[in-house]
Structure 1
Amino acid sequence: MDELGSAPPGGGNGATPRPRLEDVAARVGLSTASVSLVLRNIPGPSERTRQRVLKAAAELGYRPDRTASALASRRSRLLGVMVDVHSAFQAELVEHLHTAAEGVGYDLVLSTQTRTRDENTAVETLLAFRCEALILLGPVAPASVLADLDRRAPVVCVGRRITGADLDVVRSADDNGVGQIVDHLVSLGHRAIAYVDGGKGVIATDRRRGYRGAMRRHGLDGQIRVLHGDLTEEAGEKAARHLLDSGDLPTAVVAYNDRSAIGLLTAFRGAGVDVPGVVSIAGYDDDTLSRLSCFRLTTVSQEAEEQARQAVTAVVERLDGSRTAPREIVLTPSLVVRETTTKPR
């Protein structure tokens, strides 16, 4: 089997054999070595030769065999990404990760977390595919577990602060981001500002701390009001119903993420509460749903494209040996004001 080509499939089922590197070489009258140089975009062959080879490959329908190439080089050139299938923000991160990885000659393998598929299963799948490094989006595993994993393959954690382990981290300053939302609402004249929590975990802790810290900074200690929640739209709807049933509506609500904020928005509008006239709402993440015309949600951008670029840079530096010491890159998030916040009545 050639480095880039594959032998024709076996069996006598009458299937058309897959074009091989040798077939392309025979078509243009060159050695397989010369054709391989062209198809791997390695300097050497003339421009005229390159054009002849590329034309022949296209005509024959030749496609490189990635598995054979990986076995020959002992490099898979694959970066494994663990992603939550329910997160619109992580889906956007993956799109930027693809662009960044392709720009430096790598490709991605995705492994999903679902309600019935946990982090460990997702990670072990990536390792089984011979991924050279792992990019974990918002992992919840303990730092010690992540450190053990880093000894098996370079790991970069995206979106989460890590304490107690030396790991590469790329994240936004979540406490700062939520603080920016509270500052914005206070500047509009709000004082009764509630917060829908994100549950357990480091990210939720940082955002909750950002809310409490900003409220205290503005002298609103007595107005601090944290409602139980999680990452879902259902959590936002439940929080909205609780506020409606309490008969004590705040003038503004900040949600842990955009999904929860959209649940709040939907429930309030369904109950006839004017948003933002009666209650202003803000989320966090600036995901694709928050930008839709039916929501136009005030939120915080985590700079997804820059997070992706920094994450790919971090793992590639580890793989090529240009850096061995772990580092944390903390990006400053930015407030995005849209149509769900205004001055209180």
Structure 2
Amino acid sequence: MDRRPRLADVAARAGVSTASVSLVLRGEPGPSAETRERVLEAAGQLGYRADRTASLLARRRRHLLGVLLDVRNPFHAELVEEIHVEADQAGYEVVLSTLTRGRDEHRAIETLLDFRCEALLLLGPDSSEEALDRLAAQVPVVVVGRAVGKAQVDAIRPADDAGVDAALLHLIGLGHLRIAFVDGGQGAVAAVRRRGYRRAIRRAGLVASIVAGGRTEEAGVRAGRRLLASQELPTAVVASNDRLAVGLMDAFLRAGVDVPGRVSVVGYDDSILARLAHIDLTSVNQDAPAQARNAVLAAVSRLDEGRTIRYEAVQVPHLVVRGSTAAPFSS
């Protein structure tokens, strides 16, 4: 039997109507200060907890924002934390659906639709423009972290080419001429960063060197081993994401190659990994709070204000210089 205290129990304990209890617990005006004190005291004594789901249904709106994220991506975790803050201020709750080794993007999105989320915030999705358009026909969609072409969805993204530019300019300014790039593998975000490297290295008049990578530390370790096995080790490496960079540094460390004494390393995302004292990774910062704020505002403006015009915000990332980069090694 469910013995959870109900609104009527609080009203009975406080000696007021259920309507007054409801107003007090929602923070609405009307009840006197004395009534508020009695209601809050009674609720505390009984351990009353409001039924959020019932409350949302009663208002005929869910006020739920669905968020798709990769559970293995530390930058996504930071975005989600900021999204929670912004959603709470806007009066919305957040439902998370994650990508894992055995759970693909389609299934994760279907879960959010099953929860009847009013809008979806997709963090770095790989879905095609056509798939995004089909999804947008069902519910407002905000894509965070990548360009969406002509898809009729809102987009909040960093100018990834500018981020890679900043990394290369930093390394070239230190005197590096042999700068390799560890690729982020399949996916729209990795493709933009790869193109950004090619453009920047060509503009600098240097020779491009792209090493196969991926999205994980293990992929970074494999890339590091490939570089170590090459005829000539580059003096600097830019990785498509921080996890790759950490794996790369691990491979160098185990081989006795000093970072940054022998090889400088730059990551991308400026995640919590980059800020750890023993890693101290120079990395491109995308401003997670600003991305989250703009993403939530985009969703809420469609839901609460009826906006229909497509919105896109492009933010310029900046490089955070730490201890993993230095002037090139000279024998």
Aligned-residue CA RMSD (Å): 1.1
Q: Identify which range, 207-216 or 152-161, moves more after superposition.
A: 207-216
Q: Does 1:30 align with 2:21?
A: no
- 1:300 aligns with 284
Q: Identify which range, 178-187 or 98-107, moves more after superposition.
A: 98-107
Secondary structure at the aligned position of 1:284 is classed as strand
CA distance in 1, matches of 2:208, 2:115: 48
- 1:14 aligns with none
What letter matches 2:241 in structure 1?
N
- 2:123 aligns with 137
Q: What's the TM-score once normalised by structure 1's chain length?
A: 0.93
Secondary structure at the aligned position of 1:283 is classed as strand
CA distance in 2, matches of 1:328, 1:171: 8
Q: Contact conserved, 1:144 with 1:164, CA < 8 A, in 2? A: no
Q: Does 1:317 align with 2:301?
A: yes
Q: What's the TM-score once normalised by structure 2's chain length?
A: 0.97
- 2:79 aligns with 93
Q: Give the counterpart of 1:334 among 318, 324, 331.
A: 318
Tell me by how many angstroms 1:34 deviates. 1.5
Secondary structure at the aligned position of 1:318 is classed as helix
Q: Contact conserved, 2:136 with 2:152, CA < 8 A, in 1? A: no
Tell me by how many angstroms 1:126 deviates. 1.1
Tell me by how many angstroms 1:32 deviates. 0.9
Secondary structure at the aligned position of 2:69 is classed as strand
Gaps of 5+ in 2: none
CA distance in 2, matches of 1:101, 1:70: 15
Kindly provide the CA deviation profile for residues 59-81 of structure 1, in whole angstroms up to 9, marking residues without a partner as x: 11111112221221121221111
CA distance in 2, matches of 1:173, 1:46: 53
Matches within 5 A, 1:6-21: 9=2, 17-21=3-7
Tell me by how many angstroms 1:29 deviates. 1.7
Q: Percent identity?
A: 58
Secondary structure at the aligned position of 2:91 is classed as coil
- 2:192 aligns with 206
CA distance in 1, matches of 2:190, 2:37: 54
- 1:158 aligns with 144
Tell me by how many angstroms 1:49 deviates. 2.1
Q: Give the counterpart of 1:263 among 236, 247, 263.
A: 247
Secondary structure at the aligned position of 1:141 is classed as coil
Q: Contact conserved, 2:62 with 2:118, CA < 8 A, in 1? A: yes
What letter matches 2:173 in structure 1?
S
Paired residues in the alignment total 329
CA distance in 2, matches of 1:25, 1:120: 46
CA distance in 1, matches of 2:284, 2:165: 10
Q: Identify which range, 332-341 or 196-205, moves more after superposition.
A: 196-205
Q: Does 1:63 align with 2:49?
A: yes
- 2:256 aligns with 272
CA distance in 2, matches of 1:114, 1:28: 48
Secondary structure at the aligned position of 2:248 is classed as helix
Deviating beyond 4 angstroms after TM superposition, the runs of 4 or more aligned structure 1 residues are: none
Tell me by how many angstroms 1:322 deviates. 4.2
Secondary structure at the aligned position of 1:144 is classed as helix
CA distance in 1, matches of 2:199, 2:37: 62
Tell me by how many angstroms 1:164 deviates. 2.4
What letter matches 2:315 in structure 1?
L
Gaps of 5+ in 1: 1-7, 10-16
CA distance in 2, matches of 1:150, 1:46: 46
- 1:195 aligns with 181
